[in-house]
């Protein structure tokens, strides 16, 4: 059940991050971006002392991480 919830949170987070950063991509890319973004966001937030305790916190963490990944990806591609 945890994997399904992670995929749903990843999909939602990836779509939100894609919309915020005006990034184009399909559902698979958004899911992957959201899941990896959750990991990156979790690392970034743990450094500054924050921790997600519910689904909304997990989505915010994933969106921030996915936005960071999109930003870094754009820097590398230029």
Domain map (residue ranges) of the chain: 2-77
In angstroms, the CA 19 to CA 24 distance is: 8
Residue 25 to residue 14: CA distance in whole angstroms:
9
pLDDT at residue 22 greater than cutoff 80: yes
Question: Hunting for tokens 């997990």 — which residue is that?
Answer: 58
Q: What is the pLDDT of residue 1?
A: 60
pTM: 0.86
Closest CA to 59 of 26, 21, 28, 16: 16
pLDDT at 27: 76
């Amino acid at each position: 059940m945890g994997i399904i919830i992670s995929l749903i949170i990843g999909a939602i987070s990836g779509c939100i991050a894609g919309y915020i950063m005006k990034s184009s991509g399909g559902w698979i890319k958004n899911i992957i971006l959201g899941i990896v973004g959750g990991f990156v966001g979790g690392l970034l937030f743990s450094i500054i002392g924050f921790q997600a305790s519910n689904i909304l916190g997990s989505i915010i963490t994933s969106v921030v991480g996915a936005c960071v990944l999109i930003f870094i990806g754009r820097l590398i591609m230029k």
